[in-house]
Amino acid sequence: MSISSRFAVGIHILTLLEVNKDEVNSSEFIAASVNTNPVVIRKIMGMLKKAELVYVRPGVAGAELARKLDEITLLDVYKAVEAVPENELFSVHGNPNPQCTVGRNIQAAVLPIFAGAQAVMEKALAHVTIEDIVQSIEEQDKQIE
Amino acid sequence: MSISSRFAVGIHILTLLEVNKDEVNSSEFIAASVNTNPVVIRKIMGMLKKAELVYVRPGVAGAELARKLDEITLLDVYKAVEAVPENELFSVHGNPNPQCTVGRNIQAAVLPIFAGAQAVMEKALAHVTIEDIVQSIEEQDKQIE
DNA sequence: TAAGTTGTAATAAAATTGGTTACATGTAGT
DNA sequence: ACTACATGTAACCAATTTTATTACAACTTA
């Protein structure tokens, strides 16, 4: 299956917090930009908060980034929103038959390869920061008239 | 979410076809090695067949590899079993608000990054063949006593 | 105290996964 | 031709995940 869109929404939220930092970013406002329900935003915001990427307080409207723009990578967001369960991008069938040569060795054969593929993917995400996204968005927006 | 274990099972099947090539590899036999239902195997086998990775005929017991060992990459298997829908490893929320700077540019900002991350991951899979898996399995098995 | 916000539980509909039964279709051997 | 057995599929199911939604408790500020 695809990786949850929570990841893309998380990036959207953090980017918005920067671009719109002079206004009050309530969950309702953010939800209007993402085009979803405010509760969805609050849930994702809770995950971002737990990962110490944003600063939010119960009762008080608006959220802010908890780190500098270039200190939040997409990998941070990816992990924060649990885009993938338990660090397992690939799932492996459990309990193959230990009486079969292939069955008793397939997991050990396949796991390091999956780990490697996952690692290069995550590294690609780690090279991009929210600052890059903000820049990209502002540049693109200039070209729209 | 995680990538379907169909991928791992597909690798298991192809590896088994080689390691056990002197016997008849019926769906029932393969299912016993994978430890699942024969119908699950036949469904995945159908996908591998469609991708021309295996040779199977209705009515006749046993399947065989349709290519040489080193001409089947894990990426071939990954695509054959549709481990990920429509080539979209990452999903992006639809319809963000076009009246918001972030909303109207987030997709364009994020898509190339997702495509890049997906590409490096797939490249890692493309570098490994079923031959590598077979070797790895036979080497590991020697060390078990 | 009142108004508005966040945090969270409960629920729901849709989609996907892995499994299972049932059976039609196809092949080979007698 | 008949039998035995295998593959190919359709239909269905339970479990899980995703996204959306309602409801409401807890909290903050004016």
Domain definitions of chain B by residue range: 6-87+129-142
Distance (Å, rounded) from C-alpha B87 to C-alpha B79?
8
Neighbours of A139 (CB within 10 A): 11
CB proximity B144–strand D (7 Å threshold): no
Scanning every strand, the nucleotide with its C1' closest to B61's CA turns out to be: D6
Does A97 contact B33 at a Cβ distance shorter than 8 Å?
A: yes
Does A109 contact B133 at a Cβ distance shorter than 8 Å?
A: yes
Chain B residues close to A115, C-beta within 8 Å: none
Alpha carbon of B107: minimum distance to chain A alpha carbons (Å): 9
Q: For B58-111, what is each residue's pLDDT tens digit?
A: 999 999 999 999 999 999 999 999 888 878 999 999 899 999 999 999 999 999
Q: Does domain B6-87+129-142 have CATH number 1.10.10.10?
A: yes
Residue B145 has pLDDT above 80, yes or no: no
CA distances (Å), origin B80, targets A69, A126, B39:
40, 29, 17
| Residues paired with residue B55 on neighbouring β-strands, in sequence order | B64
Calculate ∠ Cα B89-B90-B92, nearest 5°. 145
Scanning every strand, the nucleotide with its C1' closest to B50's CA turns out to be: D8
**pLDDT given at position A145:** 64
Residue ranges in A21-129 assigned as alpha helix (H): 27-34, 38-50, 74-80, 101-126
Chain A residues close to B37, C-beta within 8 Å: none
**Cα first-last separation, chain B:** 37
Give the position of tokens 């608006």: A62
More confident call, B115 vs A145: B115
- Count interface pairs A-B at CB distance under 8 A: 188
Alpha carbon of B145: minimum distance to chain A alpha carbons (Å): 12
Residues A50, A81: contact at Cβ < 8 Å?
no
Residues A8, B106: contact at Cβ < 8 Å?
yes
**Which of A102, A106, A118 is the best residue to mutate to test the B interface, defined by the most B CB atoms within 10 Å of its own CB?**
A102
pLDDT in tens, chain A (145 residues): 899 999 999 999 999 999 999 999 999 999 999 999 999 999 999 999 999 999 999 999 999 999 999 999 999 999 999 888 888 999 999 899 999 999 999 999 999 999 999 999 999 999 999 999 999 999 998 887 6
Q: Does domain A6-143 have CATH number 1.10.3720.10?
A: no
The interface predicted TM-score of the complex, written ipTM, equals 0.92
Extended strands (E) in chain B = 54-57, 60-65
Distance (Å, rounded) from C-alpha A41 to C-alpha A59?
15
Chain A residues close to B29, C-beta within 8 Å: none
Q: For B23-58, what is each residue's pLDDT tens digit?
A: 999 999 999 999 999 999 999 999 999 999 999 999
Does A15 contact B102 at a Cβ distance shorter than 8 Å?
A: yes
Chain A residues close to B95, C-beta within 8 Å: 35
Find and list the nucleotides of strand D having atoms within 7 Å of a protein beta carbon. 5-11, 17-23, 26-29
